[in-house]
Structure 1
Amino acid sequence: MTLRIQVQQQDFSVASEYELLRQDARCGAVVTFTGLVRELAEAELLGMTLEHYPGMTEQALTQIATEAQQRWQLGAVSIIHRIGTLLPNEQIVFVGVASAHRAAGFAAGEFIMDYLKNRAPFWKKEHTSSGEYWVAAKVSDQAALKRWE
């Protein structure tokens, strides 16, 4: 399995990432997910700041990708997560998985995102028209892990 883990401030190209994932002729599926900064229902979102624990974050992402590879037969896996201050509609995260068949690709992509949201040491502060606050873990994100047990 080719594994690519990036934690970075700069934006990324989904098209370039897709091209890297599709290089293995044994893989008949490439599944990608791109997360964006989205508006909030409660207040106007001006932006968000994402922080991480350097070294530990990359290790956690590698462990998540490795566990996905153990559950499904995968080719390349790519995880990119941005840090720093981001504005509404900017890209935050990219997860890409190449696999022999689509079912494994979709399952592995969802697994990686569910575990990333719960197990990778990232912290998010939202800047809104009503003030700034750190975002707490969501019960729905934690509940999503139960389906993988």
Structure 2
Amino acid sequence: MASKITIICRNPGMRRAGIKHPASATYPATKFSKTELDAFRADPAFEVIDGEAPAATTMVALAAAKDEAKANADALEKAKGELKDSNASLEAARNELKEALADNDTLRTDLAARQTEIEGLKKQVADLEAANQAQKETAEKAAKTTPKK
């Protein structure tokens, strides 16, 4: 085992094992327990190198972290644009729904008025049929009671 270890943090400022980690730091090999080192190795935000890492490795890690941050920022901007478009579509759909509901309410009101009108007309028809039937009966009685010449 090397006498030193280098820990590269892809998100500088993260806290692990009780300390805040810079982008890259070299520590004595005895600073962290085996369990802590295993946890660092398992965490994708950290890279553990036995020994001192050359400056180039640190710079590569930093450049990779910057590239990843830029890609994440670009993805976030794209997602914001898509969200804005989705919200606009949602608002348009809401307005269409409001109009459709208003039209539906108007049609229901018209339907109720027409049904009331139909019921009134049905009653008129029934009354006229009853009056017609009464007139027929009266005419038939009158025809039977009137003398024939």
Higher helix share: 2
Same fold, TM exceeding 0.5?
Answer: no
**TM-score normalised to the size of structure 2?**
0.22
**TM-score normalised to the size of structure 1?**
0.22
- Bigger relative contact order, structure 1 or 2, given CA contacts below 8 A and separation 6+? 1
